[in-house]
Amino acid sequence: MEVLVKLQQDYYRSHCGNVKPGDTWDHFDSYLIKIAEKRNIALMGLETSAKQIEMLNASVEMDWDEVDKEVKDWLKAWDDPDEERERCSFSYAYRSMQLDYQFDETCPEGLMVKGRNEQWMPVLTDFLKAKNCFVAVGLFHLTCDCGLIVKLREAGYSVEPITDLL
């Protein structure tokens, strides 16, 4: 599963314009870290990379044959412009902030999103009580009825998007 996720990340970086020539980062997390460091803003992580990989592997509901098929599909799509339009449509919507947060949808069960959101909420609310802060997480942690936007609003917080970081 780790190989599949890495392949997908590399596809989005190389095909969808997520990383531009001259960028000094190759992941959105690195971009945000660079901005924070440039502005002398303290950083706090919600989990380590090792914990993310552990949860990814624990949440896999696919057997090796299914993962193998997915890897082959992504490799086959690598040079197909029709596939690129389809697979990159999410990246294009994300960059233009044309997002559907689906707040009324029920969150799928599992560790990767719902479970992590549940683990993060006490940490986030404790931190937010101590000081005003900017929180950055992946989009799927913001969507559906278990998303952090809904949960923070239910806890009484005002949550607003920031569209221009520089």
16's tokens: 């969808």
Mean pLDDT across the stretch 40-54?
Answer: 84
Task: Report d(CA 62, CA 84) in Å as an integer.
Answer: 24
Q: Report the pLDDT value the prediction gives residue 97, as an integer from 0 to 100.
A: 78
Q: Report the pLDDT value the prediction gives residue 163, as an integer from 0 to 100.
A: 66
DSSP 109: P
Q: Report the pLDDT value the prediction gives residue 136, as an integer from 0 to 100.
A: 83
Task: Report d(CA 104, CA 45) in Å as an integer.
Answer: 28
User: Quick check: 166 pLDDT over 70?
Assistant: no
DSSP 106: P
For the entire predicted model, the pTM comes to 0.76
Chain segment 77-95, per-residue pLDDT in tens: 998 988 998 889 888 888 7
56's tokens: 């990814």
